[in-house]
Amino acid sequence: MSRRTKQVLRTVIGLGLAVVLLGWGFPLLAQTTWTEVFAELRKVTWWQSLEFGGLVLLGLGCYTFTFTGSLPGLSHWRAFIVNICGSSVSKLLPGGGAVGLAATYTILRSWGFTNRDVSTSAIVTGVWNTLSRIALPIVAIAMLWLGHDGLPPALTNAAIAATVSGVAIFAVFVAILASERAAQSIGRWLDRLLAPVFRRRERTMSVAELVTDMRVRINEVVRTGWVQMTLGMIGFFGFYYLLFVLIMHTVDVFLPLGILFAAFAIGRLLTAVGVTPGGLGVTESATVIALVGWGADGTAALTGAILFSIFTHLMEVPLGALGWLVWSMSPKASPEEIEATPA
- Is residue 324 within 8 A of residue 83, CB to CB? The reply is no
**One digit per residue, pLDDT tens: the chain, 343 residues?**
565 565 556 656 656 666 666 667 777 778 888 899 999 999 999 999 999 999 999 999 999 999 999 999 999 999 999 999 998 888 776 666 777 888 898 999 999 898 888 888 888 898 888 888 888 877 887 777 776 566 566 556 665 665 676 667 667 777 766 666 766 666 666 556 555 544 555 555 555 566 666 777 888 888 889 999 999 999 999 999 999 999 999 999 999 998 899 899 888 877 766 556 666 677 888 888 889 888 899 999 999 999 999 999 889 889 999 999 999 998 887 555 555 555 5
For 37, residues 6+ apart whose C-beta sits below 8 A from its C-beta are 26, 27, 299, 302, 303, 306
Q: What is the DSSP letter of 314?
A: I
Distance between CA atoms of 167 and 162, rounded to whole angstroms?
8
- Is residue 217 within 8 A of residue 116, CB to CB? The reply is yes
DSSP 23-54: IIIHHHHHT--HHHHHHHHTT--HHHHHHHHH
Question: What are the domain boundaries of the chain?
Answer: 33-332
From the centroid of its chain, how far is CA 248?
22
From the centroid of its chain, how far is CA 9?
23
